[in-house]
Amino acid sequence: MSEPNRDAAATPSSPGTRASDPAAFFAAVQEPSADRVKAILADDPTLVSIRNEGGTALHFAAIANDQRMVDTLLSAGADLNARDDTYQMTPIGWANEEGHVEMVRYLFERGAEVDLHRAAAYGLLERVKELVKGPRRQVNALVGGWTALQLATVWGHPDVVELLVSRGGDPLMKDPYGRTTLEIARSQIETKGKSTPLVRDERRQAILAGCTQIVELLERRGTR
């Protein structure tokens, strides 16, 4: 996901005259000024749902790792599960793309919807445990050509990988690029995280360390 142009003018999601200027609203979100945003929304609550470059204000607060802004927007009725126009990602997905682990967990705790594949990608182990209590066939279900096990590997979550394998996750299934789970982990290590290019360096290093553990885990199990 390429980061939206934060200098671009905001465009209303629907026509009509608004009491406040959408561009000024997004400028306050990105400044950031939670107090200013709160005042603007008090004047025109509909601004909380408009979009700038396809994302809502909550998307931008999430990718900026700004918990105070997130709280301000949620209190004003922001949709935790709104999808951006380009990638169909929710705010929690934007936070994950940037590598903000704490924000991912915070948005989940605030009620963001997270299915098995997203929980695996985000490293939400307890949520994964809840979701794999159902039929085993769902563990190897494909979403966008990926299994939950493969996504957990791409994002370097060895604890999630170990759980999914124990629940019947098949490490020999191929991803959209024809790679097994072991090959995904090795590729991430060899390319320095090419499959997760937008994350901050600290998070990238954690992903690579996680992939190293995943390789060791799978090799111990005799996976090729």
Instruction: Give this prediction's pTM.
Output: 0.87
Sign of the CA dihedral running 27, 32, 36, 39: positive
Q: The CATH number of 115-224 is which of 1.10.3470.10, 1.25.40.20, 3.65.10.10, 3.40.50.970?
A: 1.25.40.20
Architecture of the structural domain at 6-113? Alpha Horseshoe (1.25)
Integer Cα distance of 47 and 44 in angstroms? 6
Q: Where are the beta strands (DSSP E) in the chain?
A: 51-52, 55-56
Mean pLDDT in each 10-residue stretch from start to end of the chain (224 residues)? Answer: 38 43 93 94 95 95 97 97 96 97 98 97 97 82 96 98 96 97 98 95 97 97 83
- Torsion on CA atoms 185, 173, 152, 221, rounded to nearest 10: -70
